[in-house]
Chain A
Amino acid sequence: MNALQSIGTGLGMALFGWLLQTTISGVTRKVIARIQKRRGPVWYQNFRDIMKLLNKRSVTHGWAFDFGLLVALAGAIGTAMFMPVAGIVAFKGFDNFFMIIYLAALGVFGRALSSGSSGNPLATIGVMRGLTQNIGYKVPYMLLVIALISYYRTSSISEIVELQRVSGWSVLVMPLGFVVAFISLHGMLGKKPFDTYLAPAEIASGPLVEYGGKQLGILMIAHELSVFIEVSLFVNLFLGGGATLPEFLLKYAFIYILSSSLGAVMGRFRIEQVVRFYYKVPIALTIVQILMLAVMRGGVR
């Protein structure tokens, strides 16, 4: 019974995450529209888009094309089930950071597999760029979180949230790290200047080049879910999560809309500029941050 309850909570969390993120991306579209001095779509536009796509007849390039997508969505749903939100966690004790990162990576791999099997070189180039970018932002981000884990001595997200309630948000522990993590998050969300892997003008939306109809719909659902995972991971790790749901939602919306708005007034880097940027600024900041932490607190250990 307990197990069923946990699974139910997990599924509820995934559904909540999808609803939340899809709504917030709709709202964000309106916010960006205001930056661009226009009105923008209705807030539930993304739901309409997804529903339309699921009702459209599309093409497939073979079973791996579909299978990869299913893996992508399954990875996203599976990961979202573990995500603690405002004190609610489906599988207590198992909401492990490494697990979440790797399970989310399975979704990424599924997407890559699917678009690679479409046989379009633009898709392959897009995936290549995405992975190249991935190696740029993940390394500083994970390094920071490892420092955080070693500071809190637990890798369970919900426990880190609990500990922050006692000792203050992680932003205060590692202010520079927060900046780095935000830059990395910006890259993970694929906001400009780090949307090189999509780059419609260069590679015609890259990995998405062959998707239409339900495939694109599933991909959009998976994308919303993975954004939910990324942003709530960030909020949980660095901004103390949230004791109540409104608090969490506030932080969540703030971070996501901030990142999107920044993206709206920036151009796109070239892919090698992205890599160079990530190996210069964030890595340097991370190292400084870890040294600072070691000096200030008398060693991380």
Chain B
Amino acid sequence: MNIIHLILGLFLAGIAAYGIGRLKPAAASWLTLAASWAALLILFLGGDTLAGGNAWGLLAFKMTPLGWFFSMTLLFVYSTNTFFNLSVPAAPTRQAAYPMLYLISLASTIGVFSAENWLALFIFWEIVLWSSTFMIGFGKPGRGSIIYFGMSLLGSFMMLFAILVMGTAYQTFEVKGALMAAAQSPGPALLVFLLMLFSAMVKLGITPFHIWMPEAYHEAPDHFAPVLAGGLSKLGAFTALMVTSFLPASTLMAQPWQVRGLPLLTYILLTVSAVSIVIGTLMAIKQEDAKKLLAYSSVANSGYIMIGMLMGTPMSVSGALVHLLAHALATTVTFMVMAAVARQTGTTRMDELGGLLHRMPITFLAFLTAILSLVGLPPMLGFVSKWLILQSLASQGLFLVAAAAIFGSIGSLLYAFRILSTVFLGQLKPKHRQVREAPAVLLIPLLLLSGVTLVLGIYPYGLVQYTAKIENSLGFADTVQITGLSIQGNNGNLNALLIMGAFAIGFLIALGIFLKAPKSRKVDLMDTYTGGEFIYSPELYSYSTNFFAPLERVYAGLPEISRLYEALANRVRDLGTLVQYLFFSPLPSRTALLISVVTILLIWGEAI
């Protein structure tokens, strides 16, 4: 069993799923589930020493620790999400296509992470892009998939261009080799670096490339949004980490200007990521739709991942990798919960929801875990990663970036509370009195993912140890250190188990006090303080719209950033339309035009 078998097997399963899906949709969903879990099992058992392979000379695959880490993350997200495919049937006409696309994109992500060759990587990258575009299109009608496609295509072009530049300049398409060659000879390395990072930033949703995220997440089918948010955006992190570690910014110029010991270019990119955190946070705070809010939180969290990678210290990279996992798990859970909520109530608008805690307690617990992890509070995994990143920021003395990181970290409390309070807390609406807990198939993945978040948050040592291994494989001189149960930081130690222990002791004391005191009387939600007055409609007694109005007003007067985005979005949509015009047209002449454009690009690349 090697990687090629795995990928091929998944491809074949996808095609089979299509065939079966035409006849019996449910069976196709089960096939998806079986195939993805089998793949997860194989990959887990195989470990990062899973045999690589070489197909037709060009498509060479080899599992690296980094690739394994990413593959496991994505496979876990994909395979837990297959439970959702069981319970939420896609639209009838697309019943068959959806499992196929799902499995093909899954196979392709493994391909991306294990490809030894830039061209192979690019091909799989494109397959992921195309299949996911179609899957987004299965959701609500809107411009989401077009924007997604337009933005991603922009990223793909940049990546392809960079690959071709590397191919022509260094005569190699090998993933590691090409980058290391670039690091040796500056020349076009700057171009490669920037293009590669930009394409990664598009995928990660760093400003100013983030505009596709809220639209696409909002419109994607509820059962695909978790994969899109938790899984696919991590593709960008993969290439970004490859580039920053094999082609560090310090090698790009002979004597780069330095800011706080970092090359100016890195510093600028760090600032961009910091801006991404701030904008993501601010935008998340003011969203009225739960899925859009979560999408903007992804923008902010991608900023953290990017910062960790760009700083390039062992701690920060480790932090970025842990954060990546934490974010993947947590975001998947949040989107899954939103899918469950949408399935049970039919909406994800926050002002129409409320009080679901009393109807869907298990979903709520999973959501709470995920939200705590997103905010970065102990004892969840998100805390470990934020601790690592803040530690390295503090020791680097990057105050501007640190300010943004802190802002994002505290701001995340705001939007986390907003979504928690408007969806699960507050008054239960009368029309939701009959809502039931989500079915068991939906609860399994939720509990699985949130359980992993919690367990890894309490005991992160194995994970951090593995990131040290990844750092080793990426050629870091020193790696993040763990002695016993404490993660050694630059200026402090972290013992997650101890924190959990202290918290648990505190909880026991609190519980003791609580149980010793007289028992409380349970009252209805509407039996609440009204100043002595009478109110009978819960809809009127729940606060959900314009939630952070006083804060929103403070930054409402800032320069019209949203106007700029709108203009940008229009351009991108135009690009999408153009692409549609080029690709989806019956006229062969247009295809010829496209080919000529690509050719011109290639020739231009040659010239460089």
Residues on A lying within 8 angstroms of B by beta carbon are 7, 10-11, 14, 54-64, 66, 69-71, 73-79, 81-82, 91, 93-94, 96-99, 102-103, 105-106, 108-109, 112-113, 116-122, 124-125, 127-129, 131-132, 134-135, 138-139, 142-143, 146-147, 149-150, 153-156, 204, 209-210, 213-215, 217-218, 221, 270-272, 275-276, 279, 290, 300-301
Contacts and interface: CB of A to CB of B under 8 A. Distances in A.
Nearest to B371: A109
A204 B531 CA distance: 8
B506 A73 contact: yes
B123 interface: no
B142 to A, nearest CB: 30
Contacts of A77: 502, 505-506, 509-510
Interface stretch (B70-78, B102-110, B412-420): B412-420
Given A7-B505, A77-B509, A103-B499, A290 B399 contact: yes
Contacts of B506: 14, 73-78, 81
B378 A116 contact: no
Given A77-B505, A132-B550, A99 B499 contact: yes
Contacts of B391: 98, 155
27 contacts: A57-B520, A58-B518, A61-B523, A62-B525, A64-B425, A66-B520, A71-B507, A73-B513, A74-B507, A94-B486, A94-B494, A96-B387, A103-B503, A119-B526, A132-B414, A132-B550, A135-B407, A139-B407, A142-B410, A143-B406, A147-B399, A150-B395, A150-B397, A209-B528, A218-B510, A275-B550, A276-B554
A59, A98, A150, A217 — which one has the most chain B CB atoms within 10 A of its CB? A98
A78 B511 CA distance: 14
B510 A74 contact: yes
Contact of A146 (B394, B410, B531): B394
B280 interface: no
A102 B376 contact: yes
Contact of B554 (A7, A61, A279): A279
Given A99-B494, A119-B355, A121-B541, A214 B427 contact: no
Contacts of B420: 113, 116
B131 interface: no
Contacts of B355: 119
Nearest to B382: A102
A149 B402 CA distance: 12
A275 B376 CA distance: 23
* 8 closest cross-chain pairs (CB), A and B: A77-B506, A74-B506, A214-B517, A74-B507, A116-B425, A155-B492, A73-B510, A121-B543
Interface in B496-551: 498-499, 501-507, 509-511, 513-514, 516-523, 525-529, 531, 538, 541-543, 547-548, 550-551
Contacts of B160: none
Contact of B260 (A109, A121, A271, A301): A301
Contacts of A79: 502
B453 interface: no
B426 interface: yes
Contacts of A7: 501, 505
Contact of A117 (B357, B390, B410): B357
Contacts of B528: 61, 118-120, 209-210
Nearest to B407: A139
A3 to B, nearest CB: 9
Contacts of A106: 372, 377-378, 503
Contacts of A11: 505
Contact of A62 (B358, B402, B403, B489): B358
Given A55-B517, A128-B543, 10 more contacts: A54-B516, A58-B520, A59-B527, A75-B503, A91-B498, A103-B377, A103-B378, A121-B426, A213-B520, A272-B550
A155 B507 CA distance: 26
B389 to A, nearest CB: 10
B465 interface: no
Contacts of B386: 98, 102
Contacts of A61: 522-523, 525, 528
A143 B499 contact: no
Contact of A155 (B416, B491, B495, B518): B491
B364 interface: yes
Interface residues of B, number: 87
Nearest to A96: B492
Contacts of B513: 54, 73, 214, 217-218, 221
B11 interface: no
A143 B413 contact: no
B551 A135 contact: yes
B188 to A, nearest CB: 33
Contacts of B396: 150
A274 B579 CA distance: 49
B383 interface: yes
A59 B390 contact: no
Given A73-B509, A81-B506, A119-B427, A134 B486 contact: no
A124 B492 contact: no
Contacts of B554: 272, 275-276, 279
Nearest to B531: A204
B417 A98 contact: no
A91 B494 CA distance: 11
Contacts of A70: 507, 510-511, 514
B360 to A, nearest CB: 12
B406 A57 contact: no
A115 to B, nearest CB: 9
Nearest to A274: B550
B414 A156 contact: no
A107 to B, nearest CB: 9
B493 A94 contact: yes
A106 B525 CA distance: 25
Given A64-B364, A275-B554, A213 B410 contact: no
B97 interface: no
B46 to A, nearest CB: 36
Contact of B551 (A82, A91, A94, A275): A275
Interface in B431-466: none
A301 B395 CA distance: 8
B261 A301 contact: yes
Given A138-B406, A149-B491, A58 B543 contact: no
Interface in B351-404: 355, 357-358, 361, 364, 368, 372, 375-378, 383, 386-387, 390-391, 393-397, 399, 402-403
Interface in B533-589: 538, 541-543, 547-548, 550-551, 553-554
Contacts of B538: 119
B411 interface: yes
B343 to A, nearest CB: 22
A142 B393 CA distance: 12
B413 A102 contact: no
Given A61-B523, A119-B528, A128-B547, A135 B411 contact: yes
Contacts of A121: 426, 541-543
B29 interface: no
A283 B509 CA distance: 39
A217 B543 CA distance: 26
A230 B511 CA distance: 24
A102 B378 contact: yes
B266 interface: no
B233 interface: no
B498 A143 contact: no
A124 B426 contact: yes
Given A62-B357, A301-B261, A82 B502 contact: yes
Contacts of B276: none
Nearest to A64: B357
Contact of B521 (A57, A74, A103, A217): A57
